[in-house]
Amino acid sequence: MAAQITLTERAASRINEIMAGEARGKALRISVSGGGCSGFQYEFTLDDQKQDDDVEIERDGAIVRVDSMSLAYMLGSEIDFVDDLIGASFRINNPLASASCGCGTSFSI
């Protein structure tokens, strides 16, 4: 199932930069919750506890954890990192989203 979410080289590189200053065993956790201006929103946290229902996506040593509930809303997504005029952030390119907000952290299905 992990292959159904991909991690770009830029995202993996940025995750590795962040994790260089963290305790060993931490990973980036991405979850989906209700809220945001479009109905659902992505939450990004650093996490050191792998849960039984987590799926781990790995590229170049960078690890992203997604719980099974959030995974259903993210199937086919690409996790990217962008650094543009409005700022630097992780961006989820989600084919299931029918609409998203300008900041890229909330979406609707």
- By three-state DSSP, how is residue 55 classified? strand
Q: What is the pLDDT of residues 44-86, one digit of tens each?
A: 999 998 999 999 999 999 999 999 999 998 999 999 999 877 7
Check pLDDT > 80 for residue 109.
no
The confidence score (pLDDT) of residue 104 equals: 52
Degrees to nearest 5, angle at CA 93 with 61 and 12: 15
Rounded-to-integer distance, Cα 107 and Cα 105, Å = 7
pLDDT at 103 over 60: no
Reported pTM: 0.82
Q: Where in the chain are the domains?
A: 2-108
Superfamily of domain 2-108: HesB-like domain (2.60.300.12)
Three-state DSSP state, 58: strand
Cα 37 from Cα 28, distance rounded (Å): 23
* Strand-strand pairing, 87-93 and 78-84: antiparallel
Mean per-residue pLDDT, 12-31: 90
Beta strands 99-100 and 106-108 are antiparallel
